[in-house]
Amino acid sequence: MTNKTHECFRVEVIDKVGMVTMIRPERSNSMIPSFWTELPTIVDELSNGGNVRAVVLAAEGRNFCSGMDLEVFGNSETIGGSGDGAKTKGYRSRRNEHFRSTALKLQDTFTALERARMPVLSAIQGACVGGGIDMVSATDMRYTTENAWFSIHEINIGMTADVGTLQRMPKLVPEGIVRELAYTGRRWSAQEA
């Protein structure tokens, strides 16, 4: 893969290391719809290309990732939706199935990080919130700056952390701690992490 810039990412290969950098610092690298298709494509290309020995997932700006941009769930066309609200309007089972299929597609974005044939490392600075935690919990190793902080923030806005945090975090830290962090939405520091 040659160096390439996408809407949400810049990809560079330097000394056999794939540098995948989120490039939306003005929005704290929030995850917009194109994020969810770009990331697995980039990771799969690096993994299948054969000339990369490791991937570093990093971010421009003060914050690593502020999580999912709420437009992701506010638009029926997002992440493979039909865009035809009439098909789901008023039909709970269709809406539920659309939500379920969307959640599975979002989860698969981060599963691409786990599928990669090479180690994937996260370089985290500033805030790593919500979907950002889903993402870094799917990487092989996580490194932080002293000012990094984390929050499973979904509970604070009435959502569930359903893109991988609750499934992956217990493999990294004790389940009781994961539950406390998910149920309270509190911030924790790089030192505590």
pLDDT digit string, tens, across residues 6-18: 999 999 999 999 9
End-to-end CA distance of the chain: 34
Task: Tell me how far apart the alpha carbons of residues 25 and 74 are, in angstroms, rounded to a whole number.
Answer: 22
Q: Which amino acid is at 104?
A: L
pLDDT at 74 over 70: no
Task: Give the pLDDT score at 8.
Answer: 98
- Structure confidence by residue, pLDDT tens digits, 89-143: 667 777 777 666 777 787 789 999 999 999 999 999 999 999 999 999 999 999 9
| pLDDT level of residue 1 (50, 70, 90 thresholds) | low
Residue with the bigger pLDDT between 190 and 157: it is: 190
Nearest by Cα to 101 from 88, 116, 119, 113: 88
**Residue, of 59 and 89, whose pLDDT is higher:** 59
- In whole numbers, what is the pLDDT of the chain averaged over residues? 86
What's the rounded mean pLDDT across residues 49-63? 96
User: In the sheet where 120-124 sits, what is the strand order?
Assistant: 4-5, 9-14, 17-22, 54-59, 120-124, 141-144
Report whether pLDDT(76) > 50. no
Residue where the block lists tokens 């935690």: 133
pTM: 0.83
Percent of the chain with pLDDT strictly greater than 90 = 57
Contact (Cβ atoms closer than 8 angstroms) between residue 110 and residue 135: yes
Expressed as residue numbers, the domain containing 49 is: 4-189
Q: What is the pLDDT of residue 103?
A: 72
Q: How many domains does the chain have?
A: 1
Q: Burial code of 132-170, b = ≥16 C-beta within 10 A, e = fewer?
A: bbbbbbbbeebebeeebbbbbbbbeeeeebbbbbbbbbe
**What is the domain-level CATH number for residue 24?**
3.90.226.10
b/e code 9-46 from CB counts within 10 Å (16+ = b)? bbbebeeeebbbbbebeeebbbbbbebbbbbbebbeeb
- Residue 179 predicted with pLDDT over 80: yes
User: Which residue, 124, 131, 135, is CA-closest to 151?
Assistant: 131
